[in-house]
Each structure stands twice: as structure tokens, then as C-alpha cells.
Amino acid sequence: MATIRDLATDQTNYWCPGCGNFGIITAVKRAIVQLGLGREDVTAVTGIGCHGKTTNYLNVNGFHVIHGRVLPVATAIKLANLEQTVIGFSGDGDSFGIGMGHFPHAARRNPDITLIVHDNLIYGLTTGQTSPTTRRGHMTKSTPRGAFEEAVNPIAAALASNASFVARGYVGEIQQLTDLFVQALSWEGFAMVDVLQPCVSWNRINTYQFYKERVYKLEEAGHDPSDISQAYERSLEWTERIPIGVFYKRKRPVYNDNFPFLEGEPLNRRRINDADITGLMKEFA
């Protein structure tokens, strides 16, 4: 079992002081400890963006991938070793820009992985251009007259793609965020937690104060996470009030259940030289 200290690395942290990424990594470490996992039991996959440094700062198995490819790599790692708890970390650009082609397919396949979206509603690493979740009208470096495109709604997109666990957290509510990560990491299937993560350097609109004035907890509002209509309705709330918590969860078959050969010894531990492929050759050759 890992401790919080075990999960720290000796790398210098280059995130801006006050960045919401600190809240995410703190909550993830707490969730790993609460679940009694060892460092070697967890694999973190990160994409491109400020969140990508998570593999430097979280002392578990790590895989830093090319832009937008967190989900296919995380899925493959899980299939290769079903004993691993696989967490994909991805930004709003990485998930819903270049990675958007993978998102609905991961959600509908339902691999047993967690996706944590560092959603700061802007491109932070490249110094403040619009991202796919930037709200319409937001003035940024790339949109000096205000963003004129409608924003992607991660919660509605996950629901529409049949994700089996859909949640939103906020780094200013660290206890609830930890609890959401505990639920997501222990969920059998694809769990997405979209995390509101203020970028203190480049997003002057969606600040800690902005969220403090708006967020409310679904579990305190009588929300029923088994009701997809309610989940859709809540997913559209943003301007006045912003819901955080579990929007929707529904148990359904997990992707790896479709592959009987995955039963037993994890693929990564099997000796390839001992594999008998005679049956396969007869079937396909």
C-alpha cells in the first residue's frame, strides 16, 4: 500500500503557483491511498498540455503519450494487464480537441479505465488561446473579439456516448473530488471525471471566485445518478449554477469481457514463446 509520501517524486514542479492541477494531483494521491493501492498497481497516462507533467510528479507507472492519444493507450495498457488501475490524465484540449475522435469510442466501448480531465477552459501551456471548452464570448489571445464557437459540453458528450460513469469535480472542493476519484478508480468500466481546474495565469474569467459563487453538489440537491434525463438536464446548467458530483452511473458489460483469452494470467506476464497459435492459424490462414 502506498502512502502519500511514496506517491511524491523528486522532480521540480513547474506548474504556476495556485494552478488547479495541484488540487487534482493531491486528490488523486489521496484516492490511491484510500483504495489501498501500491505504486506498482497504478499506471498514469498523460497527454500534451500542462496536465502532462502529472507523470513527472506522481510516483506510479507512467506513460506520456502524443497529443490526444491518452484513451487508446490507456485502453491498451488495461487490456495487457487487467490487474492495473489505469488512469488517463488529459486536458480539455487534449480530450476534446485532437483527442475528440477517441472520446466517444472509449465511452461506448466501456474499457475499465478512468479519464480525469484537467478542464481549465483554455490552452494554458501555449499561453492562453481558446480550447474546445472555452465559453462563447470569452476574449483570449486567439479570439480578441470573443470566442465565436459554442463550447463542447464534456458531461453531455459523455452521456451521449454511453459512458457508464460520468462526474464533474472542482479543485476547490478537495474532499468531494477525492471521493469522486475513489468512486471512478473503483468503477468497473469507463469512468470520466471532468475537473474544473482554474488556470490562474491565462483564464481570468473561470477563476476560483467564479466557481465559488456557482458550484453546488449534486448529492446535496437530491439528484438521482441513475436517471439519465436528470443527468442531461443538469449537464446544461452553467451560467448561474454549476453542478458538481456524479451525474450518471450505470453498470454495463466491460470491454475486456469480450475477450475470453484475457482471462487468467495477464497478457504482459505470458511467455510469447509458449503460445500455441495452431488453432488461430487453422481458423484464419
Binding residues for ligand SF4, rule: CB under 6 A, are 15-16, 19, 21, 50, 120, 124-125, 199-202
Least Å distance between CB 144 and ligand SF4? Answer: 19
Q: Residue 152's Cα: distance from chain center in Å?
A: 15
Q: How far is the CB of 200 from ligand SF4 (least distance, A)?
A: 5
Count other Cβ atoms within 10 Å, centred on residue 6: 14
Cβ nearer to ligand SF4, comparing 15 with 247: 15
Please state, in angstroms and rounded to a whole number, the distance separating the CA atoms of residues 50 and 39: 23
CB nearer to ligand SF4: pick between 19 and 157: 19
What is residue 114's three-state secondary structure? strand
Alpha-carbon gap, residue 70 to 103, rounded angstroms: 10
Please state, in angstroms and rounded to a whole number, the distance separating the CA atoms of residues 162 and 189. Answer: 11
Asked whether 163 and 192 are in contact (CB, 8 A), the reply is: yes
Comparison of 111 and 128: residue with beta carbon closer to ligand SF4: 128
At residue 168, the 3 state secondary structure works out as: strand
Measure the CA–CA gap between 160 and 42, rounded to whole angstroms: 29
Pairwise CA distance, residues 4 & 23, whole Å: 14
Pick 49 or 111: Cβ nearer ligand SF4:
49
Query: Distance between CA 95 and CA 117 in Å, rounded?
Result: 7
- Closest to ligand SF4 by CB, 35 vs 200, is 200
Q: Which is nearer to ligand SF4, 75 or 206 (CB)?
A: 206
